[in-house]
Amino acid sequence: MPVKLIVAHNLAELRKARGLTQSELAEKFNYSDKSVSKWEHGDTMPDIEVLKQLCDFYGVTLDYLVTEEGKNRSSMVKGKQRVANKWAITALSVSAVWLVSVVIFFAGQILFSEEVWNRTGWISFIWAAPASFVIMLIFNGIWGKSSWRTILAILLTWSSIACIYITLGLFLGSGWELWQIFLIGIPLTVASILWDHVLVKNKNEPKP
């Protein structure tokens, strides 16, 4: 790639990373926004003095600005930012699940008798676990890694079975004797592993 286009790309990425418009950058260096636009489109290139000023302003070296390493590094930084944003969104969604559990818990203290709710109220926190795994599975399906899919599916399976077991035990009394319900998790776990294996295999197979 011509040096002029590499410089243009790097200048545009650095400006965007600072959250500046072309007009704001032009004002800082006493240039018109049209000049900055031409720099970032590769129509013209700033002289060496302006390039040095830009490097000092952005905190990069001249070598960074005129080589594709700068371009690749900018892409890498943007990639890390996207990953961080995805994790943040997932974490916020899971936090919302637990917030709902807290609201249900305190609402139950108002609506039900103290004796009943002290014995069963904490069940809202128990069910927040599988609900959290459902949220994580959804976001994983949108933008996550396939290696997490099986783990999340297994965690969802066993946490759901545990919640059913505990709920039956609390509300039915005799539910504690239904420990056999955990046997359901074995075939479901095997099915999750095999299903993920099939998906990965189909994804890796060359298309005709």
How confident is the model over 18-43, as pLDDT tens digits?
A: 888 888 888 888 888 899 999 999 88
Q: Among 66, 94, 109, which residue terminates a domain?
A: 66
| Residues 93 and 52 occupy one common structural domain | no
Among 13, 37, 66, the domain boundary falls at 66
Token pair for 201: 């295999």
Q: What is the distance, to the nearest Å, from the Cα of residue 151 to the centroid of all Cα atoms in its chain?
A: 17
User: How many angstroms separate the CA atoms of 36 and 68, rounded?
Assistant: 20
Say if 100 falls within a structural domain. yes
Residue 15 shares a structural domain with residue 112? no
Q: What angle do CA 136, 95, 147 make, to 5 degrees?
A: 20
> Rounded to 5, what percent of the chain is helix, strand, coil?
85, 0, 15
Residues 62 and 92 in one domain: no
Whether 144 maps to a domain, the answer reads: yes
Instruction: Decide if 77 is inside a domain.
Output: no
What's the pLDDT score for residue 81? 67
Same-domain pairing of 37 and 92: no
Q: Is residue 170 part of a domain?
A: yes
Q: Spell out the long-range contacts of 136-139 with Cβ–Cβ below 8 A and sequence spacing 24 or more.
A: 136/90, 136/94, 139/86, 139/89, 139/90, 139/93
Query: Given this model, what pLDDT does residue 47 score?
Result: 87
List, run by run, the mean pLDDT of 10-residue segments along the chain (208 residues): 84 86 87 90 88 87 78 54 78 92 85 72 88 89 70 90 86 71 88 70 46
Is 23 in the same domain as 96?
A: no
Q: Are residues 32 and 98 in the same domain?
A: no
Residue where the block lists tokens 């504690």? 176
Asked if residue 78 belongs to a domain, the reply is no
Per-residue pLDDT at 134: 92
- Predicted local confidence at residue 203, as pLDDT: 46
pLDDT for res 100: 92
Give yes or no: residues 55 and 17 share one domain: yes
Among the listed residues 47, 53, 54, 56, the one whose alpha carbon sits nearest the alpha carbon of residue 10: 54
Give the global pTM: 0.54
Question: Which letter does DSSP use for residue 20 in this model?
Answer: -
Residue 147 resides in a domain: yes
**Contact yes or no for 179/165 (Cβ under 8 A):** yes
Number of domains making up the chain: 2
**Same domain membership, residue 49 and residue 12:** yes
Range of the domain at 13: 3-66
Q: Which amino acid is at 205?
A: E
pLDDT at 175: 58
Residue 10 is part of a domain; what is its CATH number?
Answer: 1.10.260.40
What does the alpha-carbon distance between residue 92 and residue 75 come to, in Å, rounded to a whole number?
Answer: 26
Q: Which two tokens stand for residue 119?
A: 């014995």
| Residues 61, 96 share a domain | no
HSE, CB side, 13 Å, CA atoms: give it for residue 145: 5
